[in-house]
Chain A
Amino acid sequence: MPLTATRGFAMIHTVFVSSHVQAQGPLIERLPDGRLLIEAGGRRVAGHPPARPGPQTSGWKGIIAAALLGLSALGGGASQLRADTLLNVSYDPTREFYREYNGWFARWWQAQGNPAATIQTSHGGSGAQARAVIDGLAAQVVTLALASDIDQIAARTDLIPEDWQSRLPHNSSPYTSTIVFLVREGNPKGITDWDDLIAEGVQVITPNPKTSGGARWNYLAAWGYADRNGLDPKDFVGALYRNVPVLDTGARGSTTTFAQRGLGDVLLAWENEAYLALAELGDDQFDIVVPSISVLAEPPVALVEGRLTDANRPLATAYLEQLYSPEAQAMALRHYYRAWDISAAAAEDVARFPELERLPIADFGGWARVQPEHFGDGGIFDQIYQGQ
């Protein structure tokens, strides 16, 4: 078993050394007998992970419980109360990754001696998905495109604590990505960097930053480029959006507009989305252009604490923790995300990514400042877009 601890970050695990003695620390190894070897206080301690409660019903009680469950499932009602069901509300481009991860995780979960779990997913524009969770979409786990969308849920409801982002490693981002350009085969418009996008006659496809997380990263990457190159960022981004013929609500909608409906000369895309388009639609149709500078996009994940019960908390917690496991990290790399742990990944999945300067959100002042200033009602994006 590869060591997660040596990859520069560590998951904290709790083990029971005996029925009363607990220890906590980063995981070193999973022993074949089911115990975990962890490092606690400079010592190596082996112990059993906390037991995960499963439904323990039998006889008439079991039948009645099953009948009630069946009834509530028929009514579409209380299925989120079932311990073995988890709803992950995610954003557009993660469909393929989470489809694979859900299958792997469900097998892993059962192999740990738990009852079979059903993982459900919902995908859409990141902002729209956050809105749905605020309006009552019964997610136990959110995996969105940017921290500010989860901040919105935390601010408008009491479902997620304010300090959610510090609860998992790497700002709660198990994988990162960046923004690149997808152009038509042979790059007929000769697009190499951000300043080529404001040229007359170039049509740029990007989604609406109001509803799409990816679109906000696109906007910020352009802003960062202008800032670094001594241009007026507001004028530069304004000129760029004058070249945008249509604003889709989500990243996947924009990819479809560009790739399948054939609109536009260049698509500002998540790196993973661009590679997926190449893989799905043929690399003889499109080329990827890596600009001189882009953003360090950290799509974060969080537990929706307000929707967790004692019964489903272990499942939801494990679901997020296992995203950092070498297997899941390798999966993320295979789905064109820049993950952290490459110990189990195929070499070509790692070698694929070109080096480029990636600006972190902190360079823009953090989401707490960027979100209202740029994308809030009457913010800079509104001024730019309505001024056209």
Chain B
Amino acid sequence: MTHIPHNRWRPATTEPALVRWALIVLCLAMLAILLVAPLMVVFDEALRRGWAFALASLSEPDAQAAIRLTLLVAALTVPLNAVFGIAAAWAVTKFDWRGKAWVITLIDLPFSISPVVAGLLFVLMFGANSALGAWLVAQGFPIVFAVPGIVLATLFITFPFVARELIPVMLEQGRAEEEAALTLGASGWRTFLTVTLPNIRWALLYGVLLCNARAMGEFGAVAVVSGKIRGQTTTMPLMIEMFYNEYLSVAAFTMAGVLALLAFVTLTLKTALEWRYADQLAASHRH
């Protein structure tokens, strides 16, 4: 039997210290270069002429209208997509039916379609050159180049987020608990509320947060259907581009900073909830 020097001994599942450090440094360097540095630049540009100037650029009516519109769009699309997502995931995982695979593929469609195509799709469907669009415009309720079009485009783009988070979790958990509840006489609704929902709540929360982040940040599809009317159909990402093009860098980067902060808020919320409910989270195998 050969002698293994004590200081050379390490568990078989771990790497040499050099490799571990190299990996950690590489990871941190990538984070710093790709994430932290650009964010710092955004805030640095925003505050180039001081806090007062940055805040004043946000109090402009167009800027406020953009913030209001973005919050309105998120407030409408996130709950709707949460409901759609749960319904889709429920249908796909709790029942067997023909064409299920197709539906799962369809749910993924907005991920694989370019946002520009998504936007044009709505312009073609509801634009003044389609029969439906012309009728809607005549009724004084235009869809494209107005707020409803922006909401629809955002709904389309963010549709998969909740469903894609829920489907793997619900598949993994199977149907045994729901079946038990049903045999004990619980109604379908009660089963959903007391058995399914508690099981999926972390995945649901995660999906909702992702959906919210994308709903507020979507640019491509919204740019196509917006019509870019200042103060009316301009969301925050569109406003950022406009300010930048108008040589108003401080206003552009302040708005970008606010959008980044909104993302931080959602992330912080998620992390805080994870800490608070770490034990339950571990029990449901989901981050």
Residues of A that sit less than 8 Å from B by CB: 72, 75-79, 81, 87, 92, 95-96, 120-124, 132, 134-138, 157, 252-253, 256, 276, 280-281
Contacts and interface: CB of A to CB of B under 8 A. Distances in A.
Given A122-B227, A135-B129, 19 more contacts: A76-B147, A76-B150, A76-B233, A77-B148, A78-B140, A79-B232, A95-B245, A96-B246, A122-B228, A123-B242, A135-B128, A136-B137, A137-B145, A138-B137, A138-B146, A252-B245, A253-B245, A256-B245, A280-B247
Nearest to A118: B231
B144 interface: yes
A124 B224 CA distance: 11
Interface size on B, as a range, is 20 to 34
A253 B244 CA distance: 10
A123 B226 CA distance: 12
Contacts of A121: 229-230
Nearest to B231: A120
A92 B241 CA distance: 13
Contacts of B147: 75-76
A120 B141 contact: no
Contacts of A122: 227-230
Given A120-B229, A134-B129, A136-B128, A76 B247 contact: no
B133 interface: yes
Nearest to B151: A76
B142 interface: yes
Contact of B141 (A78, A92, A281): A78
B133 to A, nearest CB: 6
A18 to B, nearest CB: 38
Given A135-B127, A281-B247, A123 B228 contact: yes
Given A75-B147, A76-B233, A77-B140, A256 B244 contact: yes
29 contacts: A76-B146, A76-B147, A76-B233, A77-B141, A77-B146, A77-B148, A87-B229, A96-B246, A120-B230, A120-B232, A121-B229, A121-B230, A122-B227, A132-B145, A132-B227, A134-B128, A134-B129, A135-B145, A136-B126, A136-B128, A136-B142, A136-B144, A136-B145, A137-B227, A138-B145, A253-B245, A256-B244, A256-B245, A281-B247
